Amino acid sequence: MKVSLPDRLAEYQAALGYVVKAGSSSTLQAAQSELVKGLGGLLGQTVSVSDQPKADGAVVLGTPDSSTIVKSLSLGNALTAVGNEGYVVQATTTGGYQAIVVAANTDVGVLRGCFALLRHLQCHRTVQSLSLSEAPKIQHRILDHWDNLDGSIERGYAGKSLWNWSSLPATISQRYTDYARANASIGINGVVLNNVNADSQILTSSYLDKVAALATAFRPYGIAVYLSAQFGAPKQIGGLSTADPLDSAVKLWWATEANTIYQKIPDFGGFLVKADSEGQPGPADYGRTHADGANMLVSALASHGGIVMWRAFVYKDDGTDRIGQAYKEFKPLDGKFSSGVVVQVKNGPLDFQPREPFSPLFGAMPSTPLGLELQITKEYLGEDTHLVYLGPLYEEVLKSDTYAKSQGSTVARVIDGTVHGYTTTAIAGVANVGSDTNWTGSHFNQANWYVFGRMAWNPDISAQDVADEWIRQTFTNDPAFVTPVTTMMMGSRQTTVNYMTPIGLAHIMGTDDHYGPAPWVNNLSQADWNPVYFHKADATGIGFDRTATGSNSVSQYAATVRDKFASRSTIPDDFLLFFQHVGWDDKLSSSGRSIWNELVYRYSYGVDSVGTMRDSWTGVQGYIDAKRFKDVGDFLQTQHYEARWWRDACLVYFAGVSKHTIPSGYATPAHDLAYYQNLMDKCPSDVTKPRCPDVYSGNPSPAILQ
């Protein structure tokens, strides 16, 4: 096996020979431990701890309060600039010796700085004249676990829940600590432990003791715990006859509950709430608004400093365009939410699709802090099986310009408070972490956990830069591996869009598990659960008309964005069928192909691109260990088969609707529509793999023949 050894080993050994003892707090001790362990692994030698600098090569860490050395250095302006969680890492001289100092205003900032130094070293960057300083741009950077109390995970594809409720609070698994370490290393500072479809039992005393034990394990790493609160809890476990947010007994119940929580968990972060959505109870049950419900809950937390993250994911079967419903419900409430409430909005107006436009709520609520909710677990993007790096998706959303005030009012600048002056800022990612040995169900899914944390800390960081540093830390620094694998990762999301939902198609996945193609489904009880609702394919064309001639949901965007999406001449191809119903034979100016031919091309190119990914991975054999190489290769083979399944099933269906045929130069689907419909009926809806063995037959031949 080829091994990439650091060319800078001698430089590192000279500059980083030992660690000067940190303070006594649990967080500083954790920081010291990470440095000793990390430097030892990188340098290939034992790293000692000294009471004072004794020679060149010291690593000094601490705050001005915990370290006399840090206090003696001229870091005042630099530390002021990085706030409570930021850090300063720089080469310096102390007591006549050359040293690297890791300094911050708080212990947790020191921990962040230690991880930043280790990241810098793992990427084999020089420490000559080292100077790093950074502060997070968003206050609350949270992983939302959709974990249930029985150990299952809704939309979880990496085994069972990490939280072993039956053994808590007595037994603290080492994995809890390792999980906290992983989050701290990428800048995450909060964890919602339970599913948004919440079980009220989590708020009972026995479970709160278990939650408190996890909070204790996470605390040294700067991780606060949050809970998803069941809005109906006063009725379900409180013995009340109502959960009306304006009822005095309900208010008292929540205030008492909050006091109990903070007695057990003094640094409890707050509540995440899903209400009046998909069968969950909420204030609408009592004729109240979302603001009424959120304000009641935050008033219970206010004296303790907790926040309420109130999800804007609401829709109902009322005959109106589903993607416009959240805006209609929340926009009129702007300015009516109390301080400490963050309205948590999914990145798009639909539901974590491979591609969809940014939600029109971003930029539309200047008086209400909006938090961005991203999904890490890839519910609609091949789950654990398909290699899809989500960095480009996150970057696309964060850079989307809302034009809320003027050009440059990007989603990133909205959620970090720049555009509207929000005093509370938040970003959340639906976790992909479970009990699997590799944490995330597949090795490359770890990159999505990683990139979420890095972009939550700094929304302006490049997805490609994050991919590069993740590869270097996870596999090797050898450019013969890093370059092709970075290319593979950066193209993987567009590849998946191409073979699943090209040119603006959305939500045409299988029922319930959202795995595999099912564009023909039209028999579900609620209209907007059916794929045909979203693609509107008929003999004349395809796509959902959301312009003024249709649902007019496009009008919810600022004028500049609205006009771009509403016009056939300016709408990006990637959003075309999301906003417009277009004739099958209409031409795309970008490619000159008809809509039908473009669909055939994109689906086919997506399949062939997965083949290219497989070839790229085969080409890096020998640069990493055999087990991980094989694991990734096996999943890429499955992905290649399933991309062909997606392509053939969708094209067969749309060909039947449009009365068009596959153009020459492209492979003909192997089966008729009935075959693919029956195949989906046989596929399991759980998370076993492989999902549909019948589609795995040999190595898919090229879909584009010439």
Label the pairing between strands 140-144 and 131-134. Answer: unpaired
Burial of residue 487 (CB within 10 Å: 0-12, 13-18, 19+) is: middle
Length of the chain: 706
Taking residue 597's Cβ as centre, other Cβ atoms within 10 Å add up to 20
* Structural domains of the chain in order of their starting residue, each with its CATH number: 9-134 (3.30.379.10), 140-242+257-277+302-463 (3.20.20.80), 497-544+581-695 (3.90.1330.10)
Which residue, among 275, 280, 286, 336, has the nearest Cα to 310 in the 3D structure? Answer: 275
pTM for the model: 0.97
Instruction: Give the per-residue pLDDT at 644.
Output: 95
Locate 111 and state its tokens. 């921990």
Instruction: Give the per-residue pLDDT at 688.
Output: 47
Crossing angle of helices 174-186/205-218, nearest 10°? 60
Query: DSSP letter string over 136-200?
Result: -SSSEEEEE--B-TTS-BTT--SSS-S--TTTTTT---HHHHHHHHHHHHHT--EEE-S-SS--G
Burial of residue 365 (CB within 10 Å: 0-12, 13-18, 19+) is: buried
Q: Which residues are catalytic, by number?
A: 278, 351, 379
Locate 613 and state its tokens. 């990914």
Cα-based distances in Å from 463 to 347, 396, 603: 17, 10, 25
In this structure, is the dihedral angle defined by the CA atoms of residues 309, 310, 312 and 315, taken in order, positive or negative? positive
Q: Which residues, including other chains, have CB under 8 Å from residue 422's CB and lie 6 or more apart?
A: 369, 370, 415
Query: CA geometry: angle at 432 spanning 427 and 438, to 5°?
Result: 135
Cα-based distances in Å from 374 to 200, 332, 358, 589: 25, 24, 11, 32
Instruction: Give the per-residue pLDDT at 680.
Output: 78
Instruction: Give the per-residue pLDDT at 697.
Output: 64
Locate 2 and state its tokens. 């080829």
Q: What is the largest CA-CA distance in the chain?
A: 82
704 strand-pairing partners: 666
> Computed over its alpha carbons, how large is the radius of gyration of the chain?
26
Burial of residue 548 (CB within 10 Å: 0-12, 13-18, 19+) is: exposed
Instruction: Give the per-residue pLDDT at 340.
Output: 98
Instruction: Give the per-residue pLDDT at 683.
Output: 65
Instruction: Give the per-residue pLDDT at 684.
Output: 56
**Cα separation of 249 and 106, whole Å?**
40
**Cα separation of 203 and 196, whole Å?**
13
Residues of the chain with pLDDT under 50: 1-4, 686-688
